[in-house]
Structure 1
Amino acid sequence: MLLEDKVAVVYGAGGAVGSAVAQVLAREGAEVFLAGRTRVKLDRAAEAVEASGRRRAQVATVDALDEDDVGRHLDSVLNVAGRVDISVNAVGFDNGEQGIPLTDLTADDYCRPIAEYTRTHFVTAKAAGRQMVAQRRGVIIALSNPMAKAPAALSGCFGQYAAAVEGLATQLAAELGPDGVRSLCLRPTGMPASALEHDSAPGRMWRRAAERFGIGIDELLETIGGGTLSGEPVSTGDVAEAAAFVASDRAKGLTGTVINVTGGAVAD
């Protein structure tokens, strides 16, 4: 197994991507701690994780925008496990608008997603990074989106916040690398399955966008998941498998970089 005896924290673990990541990390041998805002979703994710792994998943409601809350949770992880080897931020917010021209957005509508996504990634990476520096090992994994590389009209500020998250991941790698800590970012393309989860943040945003475009949600999701070179959309499982590999010791040469998980939909 890739992650035998590793300790992982997954933020946003109640969401479609975070839950998939947690399941694969557990399957590969990691002890997984699930953090998120909605207990019922976390409990559902924990059941799936326990079915995938050999250990009971630890669940906690955590506000990943709050430094104190994240710090207290990480302290509790350290009390139980003694260390943290992997930190994954898969947090999603229903805080942005697509299908609206930039010139029609208010400054608050434009800035809020950028502020919140960069804040959560900074807060969680800071907490994990301090502990990983002390133990002189660890991997921090962020998630962005394809608009960071390929701007798309009517996509709001999604490309800008993703570019900021990618920049944070690479700078962390430069600063923490001498202490044995790797930092990188996964850049997946649109995953239609992530919108099908009941009451998911991507689903709510894409449904609003579909209404603005005057099309059905299924048609929009087909477009969002299209463009891959295989013709098949990227799945949450695909992203989770990539996360497990880059978190493993087999990927020691990967840090300070963005991993393209778009299925070729966005070329490097």
Structure 2
Amino acid sequence: MKVQPVGSVSLPVTVGAYPQQVTKEVNFLVVDCSSSYNALIGRPTLNSWKAVTSAYHLSVKFSTEQGVGQVHEDQLAARECYLAMLAMDEQFQAMSIEEKRVVAEPAEVLEDVSLDETNPERCTRIGADLEGKIKEDLVQFLRKNTDVCAWTHEDMPGLDPSVITHCLNVCPSSKPVRQKKRVFASERDDAIRDEVQKLITAKFIREVYYPDWLANVVMVKKANGKWRMCVDFTDLNKACPKDSYPLPRINQLVDSTAGHRLLSFTNAFFRIQPNKDE
């Protein structure tokens, strides 16, 4: 039976007991099918660990800087996990459609909170399960600092370069690329014109002549039916060297929230570099 992967994910995997342990970044293929295993380690990963496996002894040994590490299989624990998975699968299959929908819903429920009585569009969402005192203080804090939030482009009339300036690290040997102008349908043309006018009014971008680099815009349909304007910076990205210290991975960001009572998500406006707009 052939199984088509639905995607891939790269995860750090640590095996062994401290200090005889090794950590490697492993690429997993994600498949949608029933299995007795949560994950399968292939030969490329075992080779990168320099691991020696023994099916008879149900163990794996590998070399580390602190000596030889070893991992033993626990058949009893594996059998218990397998039986628990079968029980959960049977219970889920017996559920009705409404019950399955409840299970699929997120654990945290959010509620809308109006921050400006004169403008109902200025609202945000907070956790509905917050304690009374914490929820009240959080709402009062947000309402007190509504002037800090930018609700439209007009609320952000440009930033002084003395405050912050982003520079592109383009390789000097790279040749500038001017992408061929794309033709859009009338609906997308209107959306592009409106979005560009908003950015010009807010002084996010400015009109330039004879640009060295020229990138087309890409229009993406949003869930609410409106258009989101992006920029095709493929050629420009190829000319910029890769960052040796990228942003933290999402699993590190999630782990860093452990032990904290509140977690805040900020939705920021996207920006376009001033010299990349046609």
- Where on the TM-score scale, by shorter chain, does this alignment land: which range? under 0.3
TM-score with structure 1 setting the length: 0.19
Structure with more helix by fraction: 1
TM-score (structure 2 length as normaliser):
0.19
